[in-house]
Amino acid sequence: MESQLGLIEQSFDLRYSGWVREALNELPDSFTITDPCISGHPIVFVSNGFLKIFGYSKDEVIGRNGRVFQGPETDRRSVMEIREAIREERAIQISLLNYRKDGTPFWMLFHMCPVFSKEDGRVINFVGVQVPIPKRPRHSGHTAVNSCENGAQLYKGAFRCCRREVCSDTVVELGRASALDSVSNPDDGEVGINDPCEARELEKRKANAAASNILSILTRYSELSGKLVCGKCCSVSGMGLLGSSLNISLGRIKQSFVLSDPHLPDMPIVYASDMFLELTGYARHEVLGHNCRFLSGLDTDPATQYQIKEYIRTEQPCTVRILNYRKDKTPFWNLLHISPVRNATGKVAYFVGVQIDDSCKNQEENGLSPHRRQLGVVGAVKVAVRSLSMGASTS
């Protein structure tokens, strides 16, 4: 867990100069910054305004996916729209019902926008701004019966939202109090939680301004680090680095593997799993863009290296046992399986390399042999790549 949190913090700190956190913390807005290149698309920065509204501490938010703030009454269609925007790497602004740590629901305007790398054009972050939508007068025609029904629904909703991270009598009491409040004051003229709640121009302008300020800070501090970012897609022709949707799909595969692009010079790595980084000791930025040969060392067998090259040249899968080296120069026997990954048209899009430390005593995991586990990784990668290419061809 600590190594994962370390990677999460590194992903943000290595992109921007050291003072970016202080500059972002001066903003009064509620917002999060996520990294789609890390498994699970976690939050890597959270503002003080967010913590104040949602009631969480920083340690309870960093490393988690934004879906933990959703609940039983959150509209699934709205969630799917957000996921689709992430897949298409575009901005979205949508009203959403979220939940505080104590389980109380509230409406907010969610404004999300991608942050692009100027170097290679890929999305390296998403900024998510949350603007609470205040309660507003009901439209005419609501009766006391409707108010009672809404109060009862709110009580049930508050009771159901007692999720894993919050499970206490406080949630039930809040729901009961809200329900009784609504019944005893049927004509209070306020919109209930179950009523659709749309943002007005005021909230939209506030969200736009907050996102603009955040992007301005990220741009300025990326210039100081030399790793420039921007708020608009500025992809460089010929670069084959992965989009955020494929990164997210690959991040769900919990094994050590890398993806290399044979269509780029020197066949560089374009994706490295978290378990690969743990196995080798390298950071993600030290791996992406490099050929896999950096794992080789003084006693690596050249004949095995040549064998790998021949299988790649003929677009055939292979399994070899090769001596590799970690970042700290310690050697390990790598049971390596390499396989071509074809897109929906049947052409080789990538090569996947799956690594297993052959020096480990217990090679079986969940009753599966190393080779079966490697084939499972290859199959999952092929599904992810083909699904993406099929989606692109139909869009």
CATH number of the domain that residue 269 is part of: 3.30.450.20
Token pair listed for 123 = 């999305």
Dist. CA 314–CA 288, nearest whole Å? 24
Residue 88 in any domain: the answer is yes
With CA atoms as reference, report the closest residue to 336 among 366, 301, 367: 301
pLDDT reported for residue 24: 95
**pLDDT tens-place string over residues 183-207:** 334 333 344 556 667 889 999 999 9
Residue 284 in any domain: the answer is yes
Dist. CA 129–CA 235, nearest whole Å? 25
Q: Are residues 285 and 340 in the same domain?
A: yes
Q: What is the CA radius of gyration of the chain?
A: 25
pLDDT reported for residue 143: 39
Dist. CA 162–CA 206, nearest whole Å? 31
Q: Are residues 368 and 266 in the same domain?
A: yes
pLDDT reported for residue 224: 82
Q: What is the mean pLDDT of the chain?
A: 80
Of 194, 215, 230, the residue that ends a domain is 230
Residue 245 in any domain: the answer is no
Share of residues in the chain with pLDDT > 90 (%): 48
Residue 247 in any domain: the answer is no
**pLDDT tens-place string over residues 15-55:** 887 789 999 999 999 999 999 888 888 999 999 999 999 99
Number of domains forming the structure of the chain: 2
pLDDT reported for residue 193: 59
Over residues 65-83, the mean pLDDT reads: 91
Q: Are residues 214 and 261 in the same domain?
A: no
pLDDT reported for residue 136: 65
Q: Are residues 283 and 323 in the same domain?
A: yes
Dist. CA 164–CA 174, nearest whole Å? 17
Over residues 113-131, the mean pLDDT reads: 88
Q: Are residues 162 and 60 in the same domain?
A: yes
Helical residues (DSSP H) of 256-299, grouped into ranges = 274-280, 284-287
Q: Which residue has the tokens 């290296």?
A: 305
**pLDDT tens-place string over residues 202-259:** 999 999 999 999 999 999 998 888 888 887 765 443 334 566 678 888 988 999 999 9
Over residues 158-162, the mean pLDDT reads: 39
In this structure, are residues 29 and 213 in contact, taking their beta carbons and an 8 Å threshold?
yes
pTM over 0.85: no
Q: Are residues 259 and 222 in the same domain?
A: no
Q: Are residues 260 and 143 in the same domain?
A: no
Residue 32's domain comprises 2-230
Q: Are residues 168 and 110 in the same domain?
A: yes
Residue 242 in any domain: the answer is no
Residue 241 in any domain: the answer is no
Q: Integer distance in angstroms from the first to the last C-alpha of the chain?
A: 38
Q: Which helix (H) or strand (E) holds 289?
A: none
pLDDT reported for residue 191: 44
Q: Are residues 93 and 190 in the same domain?
A: yes
In this structure, are residues 158 and 105 in contact, taking their beta carbons and an 8 Å threshold?
yes
User: Does the pLDDT at position 107 exceed 50?
Assistant: yes
Band of the pLDDT at 375, cuts 50, 70, 90? Answer: very high
Token pair listed for 310 = 């021949």
Of 230, 264, 299, the residue that ends a domain is 230
Dist. CA 317–CA 336, nearest whole Å? 11
Of 199, 230, 261, the residue that ends a domain is 230
What's the DSSP call for residue 63? T
Over residues 313-321, the mean pLDDT reads: 95
Residue 35 in any domain: the answer is yes
Q: Are residues 96 and 143 in the same domain?
A: yes
Q: Are residues 86 and 12 in the same domain?
A: yes
In this structure, are residues 266 and 291 in contact, taking their beta carbons and an 8 Å threshold?
yes
Q: Are residues 372 and 307 in the same domain?
A: yes
Dist. CA 229–CA 34, nearest whole Å? 15
Helical residues (DSSP H) of 185-283, grouped into ranges = 201-225, 244-251, 274-280
Displacement of CA 145 from its chain's centroid (Å): 43
Residue 83 in any domain: the answer is yes
What's the DSSP call for residue 168? S
* Angle formed by the axes of helices 144-160 and 169-184, nearest 10°: 180
